[in-house]
Structure 1
């Protein structure tokens, strides 16, 4: 199994706070945004995973159906009945074309859904880096704050006063930088979350259109198949369907006739 960096969540930073610099309410606002972003990233990854599974299942189902018609085409029962052989061959042609339609849907899904979603998920690496930078600034502020507090407790000698003044300036600069980083994060992350629907709307619309194209093509193929195989039908999907009770009665009648054959009864006795 190859390693895929997209399987590892990007947002792993642990938030810490600097109450003397940033208002506690704003810290809480950033924390709420962080957990919302974690949920968005997790949901986006699930979407990507489930879309991949959906296409895989659809592809496997289409290939299985094609194998069924292929095996039917080569079976003895079809060689013995020209009408049945024609129906199976037409059905097999439909499954071949259906397999091509699935491949087209898969390609469209990759272009209009998977690739854009992959780019969207990759943005969380930059968001995590921004949180990591904030954490680093907060840590620097805490270190400088400790230094200033220790120097304030020392004897007020000339050397200590010079050091204290230098560290206070450094602390003030760190506070300003941390506050600016925090404010920028709040603004940009809110904007990112607000604009999220603008990103997802076109890719979902494109995928729904590709679904409409796929299912429309499959409906036309099977409608044509019914029209060719059963000319007496008006070829509409509903007209080709037999009511469930009639269908079950017909199946049971045929099974009963098969079971009444002497070869079947002999096998059951043995």
Structure 2
């Protein structure tokens, strides 16, 4: 007569072992923060790329402006700007690729393997409980020949499953504390790589825009003088009747 397999009566995993496992696992609950960091890093690099692509588009639009056909100085300035924006975009792409390889990908890969190991341990525990309950049911039945045979078969089936769970449980109890202790060693190189990528990028940006300034700032005016000059020219435009305020 078939019977329903329930939870075993025997405590197959001691409360101490379960408590130790839960304690070590709780220490590693950095996953939510790491997922958020991974998501924010992705958004940051996507925004960086969008910015440099937009800058290239703007410089291309300016270069195609009819004024470039009429004024050689304006054409030279826009050509210099377009070249600078393309260089900026290229360095930005290199920076993003470096961040992807050294920061984003490592952040994405650290927890799935741990979670998979925990899931395998949980599945092994459920199999262990199921077969232990099966053994207990046969032990409670009348000791007839067929029942004894089935009991022996159930015990034979239980033995490797029990060993598998104990091996998985021991491995996690051994390795989770090591992972916790080495978490800084794992993450620190990624953040150092992020800083280095940013330093290289902004150093190149300084060089690019310094060269651009030298190319277009022929008059050698200070920022204050250039602002006054721009304001004077805008005032001239505002004085025209076609742009006068209503």
Place the TM-score, normalised by the shorter chain, in its bin.
Answer: 0.7 to 0.9
Q: 2:215 aligns with which of 200, 221, 228?
A: 228
Q: Determine helix, strand or coil for the equivalent of 1:20.
A: coil
Is 1:66 the counterpart of 2:53? The answer is: no
> What's 1:87 paired with?
77
**Structure 1: distance between partners of 2:55 and 2:163:** 66
Shift of 1:95: 1.1
> What's 2:200 paired with?
213
Q: 1:183 aligns with which of 155, 170, 178?
A: 170
Shift of 1:77: 3.6
Q: 1:141 aligns with which of 106, 122, 128?
A: 128
> What's 1:258 paired with?
237
The answer as to whether partners of 2:128 and 2:158 remain within 8 angstroms in 1 is: yes
The answer as to whether partners of 1:94 and 1:221 remain within 8 angstroms in 2 is: yes
The answer as to whether partners of 1:59 and 1:102 remain within 8 angstroms in 2 is: yes
Q: 1:20 aligns with which of 2, 7, 11?
A: 11
Which protein has greater RCO, CA pairs closer than 8 Å, 6+ apart?
Answer: 2
- How large is the Cα RMSD of the aligned pairs? 3.9
Shift of 1:60: 2.2
**Comparing 198-207 and 164-173, the one that deviates more:** 164-173
For 1:83-162, what aligned pairs fall within 5 Å after superposition? 83-118=73-108, 120-121=109-110, 124-125=112-113, 127-156=114-143
**Comparing 51-60 and 169-178, the one that deviates more:** 169-178
TM-score (norm 2): 0.73
**Structure 1: distance between partners of 2:64 and 2:146:** 98
**Comparing 85-94 and 17-26, the one that deviates more:** 17-26
Shift of 1:94: 1.1
Is 1:57 the counterpart of 2:47? The answer is: yes
The alignment of Structure 1 onto Structure 2 pairs a total of residues equal to 240
Q: Deviations over 1:53-81 (max 9, x none)?
A: 33332222212212222222332344444
